[in-house]
Amino acid sequence: MKQYMTTQRKKLISFLQEHPDRQFTAKEIFDILSEGSVSLSAVYRNLSVLEENGQITGVYREGCRDKYYRCQLSDKCKGSIHLTCTKCGKTLHMNKDSANTLIDAAASKDEFRITASKTVIYGVCKDCN
């Protein structure tokens, strides 16, 4: 089925690309973009399509019912392991050397292949520590 690049989808993608270091719920995105041009149902519908296409990822935070979405379209994000602060919600990109050490260790010691672009490690950032 052909997918169209609607005005609402363009606004949503643009917004997420402008904030590659943050995660947002659908409601937060709607509240920010809602100035009459994007409906809540369109936000949910487009997030679903973008997630299905691998352009964004959605995760559930511990203790939350809401799903949080993060852009995967940024060149910085491609192939990166993400570190997300459980206090402020900020997302950082793990240092490539550290990520490679983790990936290599899991592969050799645990015989497990990590998909970096789908991996989020939760903890507390230095600003919140």
**1-74 and 79-129 share one CATH topology?**
no
Q: Assign 3 a pLDDT band (cuts: 50, 70, 90).
A: low
pLDDT in tens, 72-96: 766 666 778 889 888 887 888 899 9
pLDDT in tens, 41-57: 889 999 999 888 888 87
For the domain 1-74, what is the CATH code?
1.10.10.10
Q: Per-residue pLDDT averaged across 94-104, rounded?
A: 94
Burial class from Cβ neighbours inside 10 Å (0-12, 13-18, 19+) for residue 80 reads buried
Give the residue with greater pLDDT, 109 vs 19: 109
Check whether domain 79-129 has CATH 3.30.1490.190, yes or no: yes
Six-digit token pair at 128?
């919140």
Domain boundaries, the chain: 1-74, 79-129
Query: Global pTM?
Result: 0.69
